Structure 1
C-alpha cells in the first residue's frame, strides 16, 4: 500500500490531483462507501443448522430432590455459612479457574482479530529514500542519446537524488460472500464456548470444594468416634483382664477383647492419614501448598444439615443451562460458520486500495500542496486453479461440523443420563440413610436401657460398654451415610450443570 506510494518518481506532479479534480475524490469515496456497505450486508455461505438431536423427554422420570430456595447459589441450600465462605475463597483463589479465565481473554482477543478484518485497515507512512544510479540505464539511457548532439548540455554520468514522502493509505476487502463475517462469527461462538468452559470449570471446582468439605467433616467425626471406640474397648479390656486374672472369664473371651482393641487402634493412623490427604486437597483447591490448620477444621455444623425436597418431574429444559451442553452447541455453531467462510473462498474477492500524501525531493517542499498526490484502486481476484485446495478445505469444514454435531448429541444424551442417574442414586441413598438413622436411634435407646439396668444392679457394666460401642459404630455408619448423601445431592447439582448459578453473579467475563 505505502510501497506503491514511494515508487513515484520525484518529477511527478501530485498537484494535478487537487482542486480541479476534487469531484473525482467525491466520486471515489462514494464508490468506497457503496462497496463497503455491500461488503457489510453481503450474503452468507453458511449452511442452515439442522437439529442433530434425537427426540428427548420433556421431563425427568425420577422424582426426588433438593432445595430450590437458593436457585443461583445452590450450595447455600446446605445452610452452612462456613461452607459458603469457603466456596467464595476457592472461587477467588483457585488456579484451574484462573487458567480458564485467562483462556477467555485469549479467545476474546482472537475474536477481535477476526472482527478487525471486517473494517478497512489504514497505515501512516513516512519515508526518506536516497538513490544513486548510472545515467545510462532506464529512462536515463533513452534520454542520453538526445544530449549527444553538438551544442547539447553535458549529460551526467549518474543520477543521485533524495525523495521525502508522507502518506496515509488504506486497504479493504469487500466481504460480499461472507468469508470475513463467517470467520468473525465463528470466533465469536468460540468465545462464547470458552465462557461456557469457565462455567464448567467453575461448577467442577465448586462441586469438588463442597465434596471435600463434607469429606473432611466425615473423616473428622469418624476419627473422633473411633477414638471414643478405642476408649470404650480399652475400659472393657481392662475389666476383662481383671476378671481373667481371677478366673471369671475364659481366655477366649479375654483375647477376643484384646483383638478388638488392637484392631480399633490400627484404624486410627489410617483415618489420620486420610484426613490429612483430604485437607491437602482442600489446600490445593485454595491455591496453596498447605493451609493453616485452623482453616482446615470443619465446624460441627457440617455434621448435620437439613435439605428440602425438590419436586418430582424436573423439566428437561433445565439442561439448557448446563455449560458443557451450551459449549458443545456454540462450537457446533462456530463450525457451521467456518463452512460458510470456506465456501466463500470459491468466489471472486473484491478489494479497494488507496493512498494520499505528499512527496518531494527536498524536505522543505514536502508541505506544499503542489506536492500532494492520491491514488485509488479496485481489484478483483478469482481462483482459477489451486489443485483442489479450496474444495478440500470445504470438506474439512464439513467433516469438523459433523464431528461436533455428533459430539453435541452425545453431550446432551450424557447430560440426560447423568441427571437420571443422580436423581435415582440420591433417592436410594435417602432410603438407606433413613434406615441407618432408625438403627442409630435404636442403638441410642439400647444404651439408655443398659445404663438403667446397670444402675439398678440388674445389668452388667460390660453390657453397657458393648451398647455404647455399638452406638459409636452406628454413628460412624450414619456419618458416612450423611457424607454419601451430600455427595449424591452434589451430583444432582453438577448433573444439572450449574443452572442454579446466576449468570454473571460469580464470574462475569468481559464481553468482546
Structure 2
C-alpha cells in the first residue's frame, strides 16, 4: 500500500524536477563578449616629429577641457551638460527603452484580471431552446470573476526577450554618453574656433594700424617730392585689402557665438555679451594623458553601444529558436454567477476552472524559419558593425595623435617665421623712412608679416583643435564607472 502511495508522489516529483530543469535552459546561443584587440594599439605619435609634448599613460580625465585652464570654457561645458536638447532627447530614449524592458519583463510573470458583467436576457419563444422546454421569460444574469494565466518559460523565450531588451537599454544609455562625448568636443571646438577668429580680428586691426601708418608715411614722402604716386596707391590698396578681411571675420565670429548658443539650447545672440570680448586662445598642456590601450574599448561609448547591440541581436536568436518549441501555460478562472444579485454571496454560486494549456506550432508557412534566419543575419551584421566600430576608433586615435604632434611642430616653426617677418618689417620701414630702401620692400614685408601672423593664429587654433579631436577619439567627456554599473544591473535583472 505504501508503494502505491509513494509511486505517484515520485512521478510528480520527477515531473516537477524535469520542469525546473527545462526552465533553467534557454534556447539560442549565449552571448560572449567579443575581443576588441585594442590592447595592441599604440597610444603615442609616430617618430616623425621632434620636440613635441610627450603623451602620458595616465588615465584620461572625464572633464579633459579643464587641461586648457579656461574658466569660461569650463562654465559653458557645465551649462551644455545640463541644457543640451540633444542630451535631453537621448535621455528620453533611455526612458522609452526602460519602459520597453518593463513590458518585456512582465511576460515572465503571471497575469491576473478581474471581470464583471450583467445582462438581461430572454430566449426566443420560437427558438430551439424554447422547443426543448426552456423558459423564455426575461431574466437577469450576474457574473463576477478573476482570470489568471501564466506561461511556463520552458525554453527561455521570455528570458531571452528580457535579455535583449536589457541590452537594448544599455545601448541607449551608451548612445546618450556618445552624444555627451560629441557635445563636449563640439562645444570646445566651436569655442576655440571663436577665440581663433577673434585673434584673427585682432591681427587684422593691428595690421590695419601698420598699413595706416605706412600710408601716412607714403603720403608725406609724396608731398615732399621724394616718393611717387605708385607708393601712395600701393599703400592705399594694402590698407583696403586688410580692411576687407574685417567684415568676413566679424560675420564668422557672430556665427560661432550663435553656434555655441544653439549647443546650450539658447536663443540666437544669447551669449553675445559673454563671448564678444576677445580672449586669448588657451595654451596647450605640458603633458597629455592618453591612458592605456586596453582601456580604450571601455572609454569609447560607441564601442560599448555596438557591443550592447550585438548582445541584443544574439538574444533575439534565442527568442526565434524558442518559437519552434511548444508553449506550456497554466490558466485558471474563479468567480460567482447567479440570476439574482442577492445570490452572488452564496457559496453555491461559485464556479472555477483550472488547467494547463499547450500551444504547438505545426505549420507556419516557413515564417518561423525565416524569422530565425533574419535574426541570425542581424546578429552577424551586428558583429561586423562592432568590428568596424573598433577599427574606426583605432584609426581615429592614431590619426588624432599624429595630427596633435604635427600641429605642435608646425606651430613652433610658424612662431619663428612670425618673429623673423616682424623684424624684417621693422627694418624695411626704417630703411624706407631714411630713404635707404624703396616702398616695394616695405610692401613685401607687410604682406609677409600679415601672412605669417594669420598662419600662426590658424596654427594655434588648429593645435588646440587637434587636442579636442584627440580626447574625443579617446572617449573623454563622460565617466564610464558612473554608467557601466547601472547598465550591468539592468542586464542581470537586479
Where on the TM-score scale, by shorter chain, does this alignment land: which range? 0.7 to 0.9
Once the two structures are superposed, residues 22-54 of structure 1 have per-residue CA deviations (whole angstroms, 9 ceiling, x without a partner) of xxxxx9xx99x9699849943111214467668
Most deviating of 84-93 and 50-59: 50-59
User: 1:72 aligned to 62, 74, 77, which one?
Assistant: 62
Contact 1:62/1:313, CA 8 A, preserved across alignment: no
Secondary structure of the residue aligned to 1:162 is strand
- Indicate whether 1:45 and 2:23 are aligned: no
Alignment of 1:160-175 (within 5 A): 160-175=138-153
Which residue of structure 2 lines up, in the alignment, with residue 126 of structure 1?
116
How far does residue 320 in structure 1 lie from its aligned partner after superposition? 2.3
How far does residue 331 in structure 1 lie from its aligned partner after superposition? 0.5
Which residue of structure 2 lines up, in the alignment, with residue 103 of structure 1?
93
C-alpha distance in 2 between matches for 1:182 and 1:313 = 36
C-alpha distance in 1 between matches for 2:126 and 2:210 = 114
Alignment of 1:218-237 (within 5 A): 218-237=196-215
Alignment of 1:108-507 (within 5 A): 108-134=98-124, 137=127, 140-142=130-132, 144=133, 156=135, 158-290=136-268, 291-297=270-276, 300=279, 302-310=280-288, 314-442=292-420, 474-498=452-476, 501-504=479-482
Once the two structures are superposed, residues 199-257 of structure 1 have per-residue CA deviations (whole angstroms, 9 ceiling, x without a partner) of 11111111110001111111112112201211210121121022123321233333222
Query: TM-score, normalising length from structure 1?
Result: 0.81
C-alpha distance in 1 between matches for 2:465 and 2:478 = 17
Secondary structure of the residue aligned to 2:482 is coil
Most deviating of 465-474 and 167-176: 465-474
Secondary structure of the residue aligned to 1:387 is coil
Task: Flag structure 1 segments of 5+ consecutive residues without an equivalent.
Answer: 1-26, 145-154
Secondary structure of the residue aligned to 1:238 is helix
Q: CA distance change for structure 1 residues 139 and 386 in 2, over 3 Å: closer, same or farther?
A: same
Secondary structure of the residue aligned to 2:377 is helix
C-alpha distance in 2 between matches for 1:510 and 1:233 = 65
Once the two structures are superposed, residues 152-198 of structure 1 have per-residue CA deviations (whole angstroms, 9 ceiling, x without a partner) of xxx74x14221222212111111111111111111110110011100
C-alpha distance in 2 between matches for 1:411 and 1:295 = 39
Contact 1:229/1:469, CA 8 A, preserved across alignment: no
Secondary structure of the residue aligned to 1:128 is strand
How far does residue 79 in structure 1 lie from its aligned partner after superposition? 1.2
- Number of residue-to-residue matches in the alignment: 467
C-alpha distance in 1 between matches for 2:366 and 2:217 = 92
Contact 2:326/2:361, CA 8 A, preserved across alignment: yes
Q: CA distance change for structure 1 residues 47 and 96 in 2, over 3 Å: closer, same or farther?
A: same
Contact 1:127/1:164, CA 8 A, preserved across alignment: yes
Query: TM-score, normalising length from structure 2?
Result: 0.84
C-alpha distance in 1 between matches for 2:319 and 2:173 = 23
Contact 1:66/1:308, CA 8 A, preserved across alignment: no
Q: CA distance change for structure 1 residues 87 and 234 in 2, over 3 Å: closer, same or farther?
A: same
How far does residue 356 in structure 1 lie from its aligned partner after superposition? 1.9
| C-alpha RMSD over aligned residues | 3.5
Q: CA distance change for structure 1 residues 54 and 430 in 2, over 3 Å: closer, same or farther?
A: same
Most deviating of 248-257 and 282-291: 248-257
C-alpha distance in 2 between matches for 1:88 and 1:250 = 60
